[in-house]
Amino acid sequence: SQVHFHHLWSMSPDGSRQSVLFGNQHTSVPQACLLIDAKPIPGSDEIITVFSPGHGRREHAGHLARISLQAGPDQKEALEFIWKGEDNEYIYDPFPLSSELFLTTTGKALALIDAQGHKQDFYSLSAAEQKEGYQIFEPRPVIGRPQEPVIASALHPQREEGFMLVQDVYQGRNMDDPVRGKIKKLLILETLPKPINYTGGNEPLTYTGSFTLERIVGTVPVESDGSAYFSLPPNKSFLFVALDAKNRAVQRMKSFTSVMPGETITCIGCHEHRTLAPANTNPYPIAGQKPPAQPQAIAGIPEVIDFPRDIQPILDEHCVRCHNPANRSGGILLTGHRGPVYSHSYFNLLARFQVNDGRNQYEPLNEPGRVGDTSSPLMQKIDDHHGQVELSGREIQLLRFWINTGATYPGTYGALGSGMIGRMIRNEPDMTPVDNPVWEKAQKVIETQCSSCHAELMPHIIEEKNLIWWKSRAEMMNGNIDEKAYFEKVRFSRHIVYDLTEPAQSTLLLAPLARDTGGYGLCTDQQQPVLSSTSDPDYQILLQAIQHSKAFLDSIKRFDMPGFVVRPEYYREMIRFGILAPDMPREQVDPYFADRKYWHAVTQPWSRK
């Protein structure tokens, strides 16, 4: 899920012992809030924190809440709201003076809030100061307080690795008996840092899914008792997928972890209760009696999978003969032809739920096999030899690992913010591609000839209110719209009705075009095709608009198009990080190479400074 989990975490001052502190298993209350600015309440085992709505308001504005740490991170009742503003009235930066009184600010005034939720302003900026733009943040009392305890570090800054011991992968919620003995290895993934970001969305990285790429580090063995012991490079973020003997996902970690240089961390199992202690049934894990395993690379599988480069050739070989504009079996296109943001094949596989990587699922814990290739209809079709196809072992494994690493579209962050018709700028679409006479004419044709029957078809290539990339799927999952209504939206989405590789093969043109002139003949007016032939003036207007959009895409270029050039911001940051030489022309930058160098760059030595 985009915003519903991963709340307060804690760690020691040296960066070790990273752990969730509260709320990792629950959606927020209120839903989709960010917990932030937590501070310990003096003389108690409680903390004060801000609930900031949405992804988090500017300057961490939000409501004031108290959390008890006695019951572990998963107890909802541990949270108590002290003060909730009305009509977007928020507080900032609370500082606990005691368990009964909290210093805070409203941005324009200093305020005190007591444990019963009474708020009183005691200092306000003058009208003149507010007019000048002054604001008040981060209030601190000028008083004496005990020095914080010094936590000694046991790390070894010179070490280039840390270690992890999993005592028993079968210990945990939704684990044990149903899958005991099935898990043979752990797939180690690194969730990769971004050198730059452009919007609050994730396009074109995925359709409604991950906001980051995941690199395949390798696999480590799981012993017969469920234990695993292995080394990891420090200062990086990792997650694990439990695999069976055929590399099928049994369970997936939805969070991440990290090790510091020389640190050894342990966990009881997969998704165990955080208040549990290790069981005495396995005091000497088999893996812990051996040297730590080194993750083994997976032969024939790229570190980061790129859909056009690695997955589309499989579809071209086995699927496109039935799922193309001329055949279109089941109404599904699996060609690599480009839509406004994604290829037709990528959009169809994702929007029609053929891969299941857990995107926007509100359940923090999965039953085994619930997320990943095991529960993906695409893999079931392959196992059932759908269409009498036979994939090679490598092709099957490549599809499995693509799904289990987030089913992303590009394999490089260099693709971000580029190659999109109607790309988002500060979460608003860029209307430039349709702000011209060509598309003005096409909009009139769509409104006149199409909209009376097809309310889900939007008036131009940028508009997608009928299928907002994350909202429609979430609505269906929550039961707000039924499956039939959802797929009707998918059928008329801008991502699939426009073909910017072969404009004449666009569904927008073929559906109303007479059969005897190469169309589908699906749209009729008094039993006559809406478009009688390719020489029909309305056909030509629509074709010219789509050709205009193709020309626009050809000029800005997508990451998988010849002559693609990374954006100046990406180029600037890679120079700043020392990845690219300052004198390298931007036109010569290979984003795949630059990303790989960036991800594998030597981590800065650990320091207490």
CA separation, residue 175 to residues 182, 186, 433, 564 (Å): 11, 15, 51, 46
What is the largest distance, in Å, between two alpha-carbon atoms of the chain?
88
pLDDT in tens, 534-555: 999 999 999 999 999 999 999 9
pLDDT, position 68? 93
Of residues 471 and 40, more confidently modeled: 40
> What's residue 605's pLDDT?
44
Considering 50-54, 252-256, 453-457, 532-536, the range whose residues carry the highest mean pLDDT is 532-536
User: For the segment 207-253, what is each residue's pLDDT rounded down to a tens digit?
Assistant: 878 889 999 999 999 999 999 999 999 999 999 999 999 999 999 88
Q: For residue 165, list its beta bridge partners.
A: 229, 266
Most confident of 13-27, 349-363, 388-402: 388-402
**Burial class of residue 481, CB neighbours in 10 A (0-12, 13-18, 19+):** middle
SS3 of the chain: helix, strand, coil, percent, to 5 = 25, 20, 55
Q: Measured in whole angstroms, how far is the alpha carbon of residue 433 from the centre of its chain? A: 27
Are 177 and 388 within 8 A, CB to CB? no
Winning range, highest mean pLDDT, from 148-152, 171-175, 326-330, 390-394: 390-394
Strand partners, 429: 424
As a whole number of angstroms, the distance between CA 309 and CA 455 comes to 36
